[in-house]
Amino acid sequence: MLHPLEETSILSACELAKQVHLNGEALTILKSASLTLTDGESVAIVGASGSGKSTLLSLLAGLDRPSGGEVWLLGEPLSTLSEDARARLRRDRVGFVFQNFQLMPQLTALENVMLPLELSGHPKPEAAARAMLERVGLGQRLRHYPKHLSGGEQQRVALARAFVIRPRLLFADEPTGNLDAATGRQIIDLLFQLNAEEGTALVLVTHDTELAGRCDAIYRLVDGRLVGARP
Amino acid sequence: MSAWHRLMWSLRMARRELVAGELTVLALALFVAVTAMTSVAFFSDRIERALTRQATQLLAADLVLNADAPWPEAFRAGAVARGLELAESASFPSMVMAGDAATLATLKAVSERYPLRGALTVQAGGAEKSAGAPAPGTAWLDARLMAKLGVKQGDAVEVGQRRLTVAGQIVREPDATLDLYSFVPRLLLNHADLASTGLVQEGSRIRWRLMVAGEAAAVADYRREASARLPRGARVENVEEARPEVRTALERARRFLGLTAMLTVALSAAAVALAVRRYLARHWQSVAVLRCLGLTSREVGALFTGLFALLALAAGALGTVAGFGAQALLLTLAAGWLGADALPAPGPLPWAMGPLSALLLLGGLALPPLSTVRRIPAVAVLRVELPARRVGWLTPLAAVFVLLTLTAYLVGETVAALWILAALAGFLAAVGLVALAAVLLLRRLPLAGRVGWRYGVANLARRPALAMIQVVALSVGLMALLTLTVVRADLIGAWRASVPADAPNKFVINIQPEQRDTVADLFALDGRRAPELAPMVRARLVAINGRPVRPAAYRDERARRLAEREFNLSWRDSLPEGNRVTAGRFWAGQGAKPQFSVEEGLAGTLGIRMGDTLSFDIAGSVYKARVTSLREVPWDSFRVNFFVLAPPDWFSRQPASYITSFRLPADEEAFASRMVERLPNLTVIDVGVILDEVRGVVERLAQAVEAMFVLALAAGVLVLWAALTATRDERLFDVALLRALGASRRQLKSVLLAELACLGGLAGLLAGLGAMALGSVAALQLFKLPFFANPWLPLLGLALGTVVVALAGWPLLRKVARTAPMTVLRRE
Ligand SMILES: Nc1ncnc2c1ncn2[C@@H]1O[C@H](COP(=O)(O)OP(=O)(O)OP(=O)(O)O)[C@@H](O)[C@H]1O
Ligand SMILES: [Mg+2]
């Protein structure tokens, strides 16, 4: 499948391939994966464990380099950019939510949320971060360190950190993977609520088909290829 | 981000890290290192000044020129032209008479401004006061002279053709030790009266001294100028020789301080290295997140560099202030002697050194691993993917080396620095190897026993590198603790004992061979143990290896003087007590063939080496033999010692006199008088005052040094702490895994306990051995003290290691028991 680069697309991948070398043996994780995402759109990527979903996400977000193919992120072809240039591209435009939260343990909830604002030179990082934490219902826990927060609370801080910069695009890798069903549902509701309010495009990697069903499109990763399309 | 923006952000991040406690160990380690370095820097700066001051007091001036003829006017004019104060003295032996009594005394005529430095204390009219030169026509006499002549204040004494009135009794004369026979009774008269005594004649043995004092630069300038134009038979008086005993004490104190400071710096460096390692290991994930959020690798580098620089500057500044405080404390402890009140404030150098050394230390230790951290890719948030960790050793080693050298330089001990460095490097290498071998051995061992033990040991063996780091770090910390407690007590004990409580305070010279039995009887009669009498003959060194010794050929002033002087040779059949042979062998027993044993320092000064043939002229006959041993002599033991020794039955036919020393309690002075009454030719010399002074100096300096050790101890504790926390995270992760795999809490606890006990025991044992070795090296090489290695150290180390590590691991064990495996896997 080949998706032409559309005018409105903010993310587009074309025949992505990824091979890694392990102990001298080449291991092919992705063969040919293509997809396109327009502004404000949400897509889900599903697939069996070990099928390469996280790998694909890392390529789409420019965290890693593909062995073949090309990714256009926010209009830029990533293959032409250095790791640092890709980092600058992500800054204040791309948000992340991970299965294991990835909060900075040495920073309080508030400081974690302030971090991306500070990086992008926001004039009033504290006020904005405070407001965002209140939006996710953690207005009372500003000064708490991650280790004193429950899994669900940590993930809400992560969501706040991701949305506080009003990103054009959000990558989420199994955001509910470490949470119980009820907490997971709360997080997902929050995710889609913010997604809708902020008009953020969303790439969601998940096992959960019900969750995937709430997205505008579902892709399935099978044997290194992306199949399926927008309904 | 703009540079300003970035700096502010670094500052904020630093504050957050500090608040979160991430930087505690690192900051403390830096702080302790800087405090140790700067306090020693400040302190030795002041010791140096005090030393110089004390020396000038012994000279009664800043500089003394000594000649056997009156000084030409040009030398006086030169001093006056430089704005220096000037005084003069002339001293010589002469008979002093009062009525029928007559005795030999050292006369010293002093000019008006005398003394320029220090104080002359006299007792006149029942009160002690400090005084200058006696008024013309009067004289100050010391107590011995007054007693011998039976005169009191107001009486008259005759000196040559001049009558002088006794105006008072000398209590303390600052520069008395400059005269060779300072133990001969003394008389001070006014310089203006000198001519009228009629004693200044051709051939009279007068030492003419020109004394100057003033601004240091002007004195140095004058010294240079005068040294270049010294007339024949003139010399610059050398202060270092004035009090060799005090000098020895000070040098030891300096070495102790230097050793402590260097140990502290080395330990702090180890703590810093461990803390940096832990800090960065804990921040891998954070860096990946930051990269994800859009930070470039340069910005990551800048963030941590800025953070570390801020930390170094802050810890450096605080450490410097604390160092100044610590130095003030040391000074109080040593105060009586140092005279802290009048000392000028320390120079600016130590102030700048603190922050700079913190920067150097952290820079050297943190930059290499930081360059790896910069390369952490963003994708590490999804997958543990670490860049190759090939951390260079060169930079950290260089940094630590530079720092130690700097400390050594500050303390003035480069040799000591090399020894410490070598000892530490040797210890690290040895411990590393042993640890690795032990771990590898454990891996091979078919392990039986309880589950806990088996897994605990297997845990250790599974990651040899980690286990090695732990064992090395732990043993460094434990060794420091042992060295600083047990070994330190032993060393300081040995130091204090070097001026023993029963050190002789009386020397008796001029005992004739036939009087030996009488002396022995006198002691026996009084119920005292007779001291050993050492024979002594006057000899002149005439040739080394057949080449005539010409004093003028020596460039070194001290060497020239030694070569000029007559030596006291002695013979004996065994090594004198307290002496240590540093090269060759000392002869044993009677009947050894003719040979010489020479004191090490003298050999060095005169250029005498092992195997050289020396020729001594004794009363016209030349005695020639090879040097078969060099000795180190404990001058501060106050026993009779000789520069050159030979076996008996060689020149023993030559006219010899005997010398001995013994201790006489203050209230038994009568014994000395009885001895002199019985054998009037004997001279009894009292060294009690010098002895007390040396003992006082040692005592006060020992206190100061002990205080300094506290700092080093803190560094040792820090290393231990750092070593235990540095690997805590890895261990916690292991534990979580085991828990996840279904190990029960009890099983886990026993696994951990086994691992910790094993680790602690091994580290402690190595530490004990290391401390033993370090103590011995320090005692023998640095302090020249007799030292017996404490045999309990290895055992103590083993016990201490096991207990400390197990105790330190206790919170970890509790934490393990409390937390669910998942939390640990996720978080820590
Ligand atoms: N750098 C790498 N080196 C070696 N193997 C890798 C590397 N990256 C990914 N893999 C392998 O590629 C496969 C896909 O990994 P990936 O993490 O993308 O799967 P996933 O679909 O996200 O699985 P899960 O649902 O369990 O998270 C796995 O077998 C993984 O071990
Ligand atoms: Mg995955």
Delimit the domains of chain B by residue range: 1-61+245-412, 85-213, 424-501+690-828, 506-686
Nearest ligand, measured from the Cα of A22: 1
Q: Which two tokens stand for residue B162?
A: 């001049």
Confidence of residue B100 (pLDDT cuts 50, 70, 90): confident
Q: By the CB < 8 Å criterion, does B22 face chain A?
A: yes
Using a CB-CB cut-off of 8 Å, the residues of chain B touching A105 are: 20, 282, 286, 827
Q: By the CB < 8 Å criterion, does B7 face chain A?
A: no
Give how far B31 is from chain A: nearest CA, Å.
22
Do residues B523 and B660 touch, judged by C-beta distance below 8 A? Answer: no
pLDDT at B417 over 80: no
Please give the Cα distance from B356 to B313 (Å, whole number): 8
Please give the Cα distance from B633 to B40 (Å, whole number): 29
Q: Count CA atoms closer than 13 A to B513's CA, side-chain side.
A: 8
A85 close to ligand 1 (CB < 6 Angstrom): no
Q: Which of the given ranges, B156-165, B446-455, B552-561, has the highest pLDDT on average?
A: B156-165
User: Can you give the pLDDT at residue A69?
Assistant: 93
Nearest CA in chain A to B291: A87
How many other β-carbons are positioned within 10 Å of the β-carbon of residue B818?
9
Confidence of residue A3 (pLDDT cuts 50, 70, 90): very low
**Sign, CA torsion B461/B464/B467/B471:** positive
> Which residue type occupies B767?
A
Q: Which two tokens stand for residue B52?
A: 């110089």
Please give the Cα distance from B814 to B559 (Å, whole number): 70
A51 close to ligand 1 (CB < 6 Angstrom): yes
Give how far B283 is from chain A: nearest CA, Å.
8
Q: Which two tokens stand for residue B812?
A: 């970890």
Q: Tens digits of per-residue pLDDT, A87-108?
A: 889 988 899 998 888 898 889 9
Mean pLDDT over B664-685 rounds to 79
Q: Which residues contact B644 (CB under 8 A, 6 or more apart)?
A: B539, B567, B569, B570, B596, B597, B598, B599, B602, B614, B616
Please give the Cα distance from B180 to B172 (Å, whole number): 17
| CA nearest neighbour of B407 among B424, B382, B386, B384 | B424
Mean pLDDT over B606-617 rounds to 91
For testing the chain B interface, which of A54, A60, A102, A117 should be mutated: the one with the most B CBs within 10 Å?
Answer: A102
Do residues A126 and A201 touch, judged by C-beta distance below 8 A? Answer: no
Residue A58 alpha carbon, nearest atom of ligand 1: 18
A26 within a domain of the structure (yes/no) = no
Confidence of residue B285 (pLDDT cuts 50, 70, 90): confident
Q: Tens digits of per-residue pLDDT, B479-511?
A: 877 877 777 777 777 777 776 777 788 888 888
pTM over 0.80: no
Q: Which of the given ranges, A12-21, B166-175, B350-359, B534-543, has the highest pLDDT on average?
A: A12-21
A27 within a domain of the structure (yes/no) = no
How far, CA to CA in Å, does B32 sit from each of B149, B442, B692?
62, 37, 36
A192 within a domain of the structure (yes/no) = yes
Mean pLDDT over B809-817 rounds to 66
A25 within a domain of the structure (yes/no) = no
Q: How many residues does chain A have?
A: 231
pLDDT at B535 over 70: yes
Give how far A227 is from chain B: nearest CA, Å.
23
A53 close to ligand 1 (CB < 6 Angstrom): yes
Please give the Cα distance from B427 to B478 (Å, whole number): 12
Q: Which of the given ranges, B311-325, B543-557, B791-805, has the highest pLDDT on average?
A: B311-325
Using a CB-CB cut-off of 8 Å, the residues of chain B touching A98 are: 381-382
pLDDT at A2 over 50: no
User: Can you give the pLDDT at residue B216?
Assistant: 79
Which A-chain residues 156-215 have CB contacts (< 8 A) with chain B?
Answer: 173, 178
> Which residue type occupies A174?
E
Using a CB-CB cut-off of 8 Å, the residues of chain B touching A58 are: 379, 382-383
Angle at B336 between CA B335 and CA B340, to 5 degrees: 40
pLDDT at A7 over 70: no
Q: How many separate domains does chain A show?
A: 1
pLDDT at B235 over 50: yes
pLDDT at B445 over 70: no
Q: How far is the CA of B268 from the centre of ligand 2 (A)?
A: 43
For A145, the domain range is 38-65+81-229
Confidence of residue B38 (pLDDT cuts 50, 70, 90): confident
How many other β-carbons are positioned within 10 Å of the β-carbon of residue B585?
11
Question: Nearest CB to A106: which of B12, B16, B382?
Answer: B16
Give how far A136 is from chain B: nearest CA, Å.
20
Q: Tens digits of per-residue pLDDT, A56-95?
A: 999 999 998 999 999 999 989 999 999 889 988 998 889 9
Residue of higher predicted confidence among B408 and B529: B529
Do residues B364 and B399 touch, judged by C-beta distance below 8 A? Answer: yes
Question: Nearest CB to B293: which of A111, A115, A146?
Answer: A115
Mean pLDDT over A202-224 rounds to 89
| Cβ-count burial B219-252 (b if 16+ within 10 Å, e if not) | beebeeebeeeeeeebbebebeebbebbbbbbeb
Contact between A98 and B381 using a beta-carbon 8 Å cutoff: yes
Mean pLDDT over B83-90 rounds to 93
Q: What is the dihedral of CA B597, B603, B609, B614, to 10 degrees?
A: -60
Q: How far is the CA of A105 from the centre of ligand 1 (A)?
A: 25
pLDDT at B724 over 60: yes
Please give the Cα distance from B134 to B164 (Å, whole number): 10
Write down the mean pLDDT value for chain A.
88
User: Can you give the pLDDT at residue B596?
Assistant: 93
Pocket test for ligand 1, best of A31, A49, A54, A221 (most atoms within 8 A of CB): A54
Burial (CB < 10 A; 0-12, 13-18, 19+), residue B620, is: exposed
> Which of A54-58, B145-149, B269-273, B439-443 shows the lowest per-residue confidence on average (mean pLDDT)?
B439-443
- Can you give B743-762 as a three-state secondary structure string? CCHHHHHHHHHHHHHHHHHH
Confidence of residue B826 (pLDDT cuts 50, 70, 90): very low
Give how far A228 is from chain B: nearest CA, Å.
25
pLDDT at B122 over 80: yes
Peptide bond into B115 cis (omega under 30): yes
Tokens 């004195």 correspond to B219
Q: How many residues does chain B have?
A: 828
Contact between A106 and B286 using a beta-carbon 8 Å cutoff: yes
User: Can you give the pLDDT at residue B633?
Assistant: 83
Q: How far is the CA of B383 from the centre of ligand 1 (A)?
A: 8
Mean pLDDT over A151-161 rounds to 91
User: Can you give the pLDDT at residue B3?
Assistant: 76
Can you name the residues that pair with B210 across neighbouring β-strands?
B65, B88
Residue B382 alpha carbon, nearest atom of ligand 1: 17
Do residues A175 and A97 touch, judged by C-beta distance below 8 A? Answer: yes
Please give the Cα distance from A144 to A129 (Å, whole number): 14
User: Can you give the pLDDT at residue B751?
Assistant: 72
Please give the Cα distance from B292 to B279 (Å, whole number): 20
User: Can you give the pLDDT at residue B739?
Assistant: 67
Please give the Cα distance from B423 to B268 (Å, whole number): 16
CATH number for A160 = 3.40.50.300
| CA nearest neighbour of B238 among B49, B47, B66, B45 | B66
User: Can you give the pLDDT at residue A68?
Assistant: 92
Using a CB-CB cut-off of 8 Å, the residues of chain A touching B285 are: 102
Contact between A104 and B381 using a beta-carbon 8 Å cutoff: no
Nearest CA in chain A to B1: A121
